[in-house]
Amino acid sequence: MNTMRCSRITSALMVAAALLAVPLIPAAATSATAPVLSSGEQQELETSYARATNEFYKKVDPQLLLDGARSGMLAYLVKAGVKNAELPPIRAAAAPGQNIRSLDAEVQAALRASGGRVAPKNLTYSAIGGMLSSLHDRWTVFLDPKEYAELNEGLDGTKFSGIGVVIDVDDQSKYLLVRQVISGGPASKAGLEPGDLILSVDGKSTKGLPVEADSKMIRGKTGTQLQLAVQRDGKALGTLPLTRQEIHAPSVFDRMLAGKIGYVALTVFGQDTARELSQALDELGKQGARAFVLDLRNNGGGYLNAAIDVASKFIPDGPIVSVESRASNVTTYDAESTAIAPRPLVVLVNGYTASASEITSGAIQDSGVGILIGTRTFGKGVVQTIYPLGDGSAIKITTARYFTPRGRDIDHQGIEPDIVSKDVRDARFGEPGHDPQLERALGYLNQRLAQGGQETSAR
């Protein structure tokens, strides 16, 4: 079970990358009583320094990184209660290997200054975090194992034991409302449909309960059963027995709206998003969809390849995005020849449409296969690469910037929609009558359909 109202912005646009093997450099000599860094911690320091120096999309001053590592450790020592902690300045050398040895020695000095009150791992993390912070790029950060796992979970979806429904509270009746039914789940197999009301779970009424309480009643151990009292269009459907199973939280939600207009909302650009979108478009196509709304509002992005895959579902050929690395090498990614039959298309965007969402939005706008309605997008025109470290942590570094097919750099500028439709507080995304931006999109598409799908000027 999942909640449809998704407002959290995914933190960054990423390109999957493997951690390259690099030789270890021995730690500097320390006193016999001082804690020492493990080979894994030395490797993390070396890898982070090398990646920040060589992969960041702008030229990096090694002295800046070393000063950042020192500042990060000093700040951590103060936070850990080490009073009057002092660390010697680090002077950058021309040879990268010497800088790594100096960095190792600085961490050892911090360990000695702590008097054994802090763990080598924590000082390693603070040094890496300080180095990346010194680059003054909000997207270039260190991720501890928990943060990295949460980032992956947010992009690739969680798994939970439930019945496969997206729920809300019905405004009028205050009962549990089914917003979406996940294909292949127990609810789908039992015949539940969007708009159904679940009056009770195992005899306990859902009326007046918040979504969180409803969720706790529906979730449970895989293989256990529950009984749902369901109502549809004011008529009782009786009590339905369901068996909980493991559910993968989807990133794509779809439904058919009045006038045979297919609505598809993406919450993130994850590993499975393109596949889920293909399934949704196929199903809506079988139902006779004459036009589509692609809702990318509040979608903070995800994987670059997912953005290319999604855009390729609507753009038959030509460029999707161009990516420029630090060495001014430009790689242009073209459509993948997977586009559906052309239909009138609107993409809904707002100020939280960012990163991979902007790649897809910009490509659709530049190619002319659809128009954008809403408000100016976030304006994140740079690409990050994730480099996993050996202990489950990772570093995320801005490694390139991107341009739309027409060469637009949207970083810090965003994309201006073809038709501006202001955000409305408390709008219920995806619900005609409660979503003015969607209503504007439907009005435009109905006009297009009435004109036989011919192009009209929206600017």
Looking at the structure of the chain, the number of domains it has is: 3
Spot the catalytic one: 71, 366, 367, 435. Answer: 366
Does one domain contain both 260 and 229? no
Angle between helical axes of 356-367 and 304-312 (0-180°, round to 10): 30
Does one domain contain both 114 and 172? no
Q: What are the strands, taking DSSP E only, across 109-260?
A: 141-143, 159-162, 165-169, 176-181, 197-201, 204-205, 225-232, 235-243, 245-248, 252-257
Does one domain contain both 45 and 75? yes
Active site residue 380: yes
Spot the catalytic one: 11, 71, 126, 355. Answer: 355
Tell me the per-residue pLDDT of 273-286, one tens digit each, with 9 for 90 and over: 999 999 999 999 99
What is the CATH classification number for the domain harbouring 380?
A: 3.90.226.10
Cβ count within 10 A of residue 213: 14
Residue 277 to residue 283: CA distance in whole angstroms: 10
Nearest to 277 by CA among 248, 253, 305: 253
What are the beta bridge partners of residue 3?
Answer: 167
Nearest to 71 by CA among 27, 11, 117, 136: 136
Active site residue 189: no
The answer to whether the pTM exceeds 0.75 is yes
Tell me the per-residue pLDDT of 387-397, one tens digit each, with 9 for 90 and over: 999 999 999 99
Nearest to 109 by CA among 136, 85, 134: 85
Buried b (16+ CB within 10 A) or exposed e, 283-322: ebeeeebbbbbbbbbbbbbbbbbbbbbbbbbbbbeebbbb
Residue 297 to residue 265: CA distance in whole angstroms: 8
- Boundary (domain end) residue, out of 84, 106, 141: 141
Residues of the chain with pLDDT > 90, as a percent, come to: 71
What is the pLDDT, as a whole number, of residue 249? 81
What is the pLDDT, as a whole number, of residue 26? 34
Spot the catalytic one: 361, 380, 393, 421. Answer: 380
Tell me the per-residue pLDDT of 132-158, one tens digit each, with 9 for 90 and over: 999 999 999 999 999 999 898 888 877
Does one domain contain both 322 and 379? yes
Which residue range forms the structural domain that includes residue 185? 159-248
Does one domain contain both 186 and 228? yes
Tell me the per-residue pLDDT of 21-64, one tens digit each, with 9 for 90 and over: 222 333 333 334 556 788 899 999 999 999 999 999 999 999 99
